[in-house]
């Protein structure tokens, strides 16, 4: 992935990626010679993050038990400890990470940092 990108308004950087800041500026000068100013920033790939949702899974299991067994299932999963809940979260995180790796899931978008306005004329 190139490291630099440019924008004409300082907000929208869907302009392609370049190896150097200078290369991005030269491209704009050549492609749009009438341009007076251009923003150049560093393109950074985002990190995939997620919420494990272990609480929702346990709650869903409890609701399903209530659907199946009625009031006899009330509070059936109340004995799940914080340690057990954290263990479930860890297992979910490991499964999601393996899934991402298995399917080589990578975002094609990027965030832009270190934006700087360059005067071309």
User: pLDDT tens for residues 78-96?
Assistant: 999 999 999 999 999 999 9
Q: What is the pTM of this model?
A: 0.72
On whether both 32 and 69 belong to a single domain, the answer is no
Any residues with CB less than 8 A from the CB of 76 and at least 6 apart, and which?
62, 65
Rg of the chain in Å (alpha carbons)? 25
Q: Mark 41-70 as b/e (b = at least 16 C-beta within 10 Å).
A: bebeeeeeeeebebeeeeeeebeebeeeee
User: Is residue 76's pLDDT more than 80?
Assistant: yes
- Total domain count, the chain: 2
Confidence of residue 14 (pLDDT cuts 50, 70, 90): confident
Helix (H, G, I), strand (E, B) or coil at 103: coil
The single residue listed with the structure tokens 């992935």 is 1
On whether both 43 and 83 belong to a single domain, the answer is no
Over residues 21-44, the mean pLDDT reads 94
On whether both 64 and 30 belong to a single domain, the answer is no
Domain ranges, residue 74: 54-102
Task: Please tell me the predicted confidence (pLDDT) of residue 16.
Answer: 81
Task: Please tell me the predicted confidence (pLDDT) of residue 118.
Answer: 96
């Amino acid at each position: 992935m190139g490291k630099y990108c440019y924008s004409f308004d300082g907000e929208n950087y869907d302009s392609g990626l370049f190896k150097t800041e200078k290369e991005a500026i030269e491209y704009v000068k050549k492609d749009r010679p009438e341009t007076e100013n251009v923003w150049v920033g560093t393109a950074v790939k985002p990190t995939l993050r997620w919420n494990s949702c272990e609480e929702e899974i346990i709650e869903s299991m409890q609701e399903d038990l209530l659907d199946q067994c009625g009031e006899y299932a009330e509070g059936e999963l109340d004995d799940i400890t914080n340690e057990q809940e954290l263990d479930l979260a860890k297992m979910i995180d490991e499964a999601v990470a393996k899934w991402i790796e298995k399917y080589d899931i990578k975002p094609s978008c990027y965030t832009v940092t270190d934006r700087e306005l360059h005067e071309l004329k």
